[in-house]
Structure 1
Amino acid sequence: MGFLTVSLLLFILGIMFFLDRALIVMGNLSFLIGLCLLIGIKSTLHFFLKKGKLKGSIFFFLGFFVTIIFKLTIIGFPLQIYGLFQMFKSFLPFLYDSATKFPVIGRYLRNPQLKKMVDEVSAKGPSV
């Protein structure tokens, strides 16, 4: 969990410092290392190569390589974000339901139109 937390922190810092390439690359590497340590190498490979998540994996790694090799963070970072969204969009209903239980923002998130939008976006994606 430590590497995944560091990964999130580095992504946020990379965005705050106007898409700093070094921070984003370190965030990517710590994300991959953290995922391997959390679920194992075999399960990580299975996760990225799963048929329903292959499109997201391709975009994530394409953005990773564009950022590293061509040094085009402005192109690579959006590709990575799109890939991560494609891979994890099936988790949106869980995150939405958890967020509605927060004391302050929960009542604002309990909007039927917002719930419908979350369900529509996540229904198009593969199941976990």
Structure 2
Amino acid sequence: MGFLTVSLLLFILGVMFFLDRALLVMGNLSFLIGLCLLIGVKSTLSFFLKKGKIKGSIFFFLGFFVIVFLRLSIVGFPLQIYGLFQMFKSFLPFLYDSATKLPFIGRYLRNPQLKKMVDEVSAKGPSV
């Protein structure tokens, strides 16, 4: 979990410092290392190579390639964000349901239109 926390912090700092290439690369590397340490190398590879997540994986690694080798953070970072969204969009209903149980903002999130939008974006159908 430590590497994943560091990667999130480095991504935030990279964006705050106008898409600093070094911070974004360190964030990417710590994300991949943290994922490997958390679920294992074999599971990480199978996660990135799943049939439903291959499009997101391609965009994520294409963005990484653009940032590292072409030195175009302004192009690579949006590619990576899109790839991460594609890989984790099936997780959105769970995040939404968890966020609705939070003390202060939960009551504002319990909106039928917002729930419908989350379900449509996740392309999973209605969540319980």
- TM-score bracket, shorter-length normalisation: over 0.9
Residue 32 of structure 1 is matched in structure 2 by 32
Alignment of 1:28-67 (within 5 A): 28-67=28-67
Say if 2:92 is the partner of 1:92.
yes
Residue number in structure 1 paired with 2:16: 16
Please provide the CA RMSD for this pair.
1.1
Shift of 1:12: 0.6
Q: TM-score, normalised by structure 2?
A: 0.96
Offset from partner CA, 1:23-53 (integer Å, 9 cap, x none): 1100000000000000000000000001110
Q: Using the TM superposition, give the Cα deviation of residue 124 of structure 1 relative to its aligned residue in structure 2, in angstroms.
A: 5.7
Structure 2 unmatched runs, 5+ = none
Q: Percent identity?
A: 89
Give me the whole-angstrom Cα distance separating, in 1, the residues matched to 2:74 and 2:34: 25
3-state secondary structure, aligned to 1:71: coil
Q: Which runs of 5+ in 1 are unaligned?
A: none
Deviation at 1:123, TM superposition (A): 1.5
Secondary structure of 2:52's match? helix
Q: Say which SS state the counterpart of residue 34 (structure 1) adopts.
A: helix
CA distance in 2, matches of 1:71, 1:104: 42
One-letter code of the match for 2:54? L
For residue 15 of structure 1, what is the amino acid of its counterpart? Answer: V
Runs of 4+ in 1 over 3 A off after TM superposition: none
Tell me the residue number matched to 1:76.
Answer: 76
Letter of the 1:55 counterpart: K
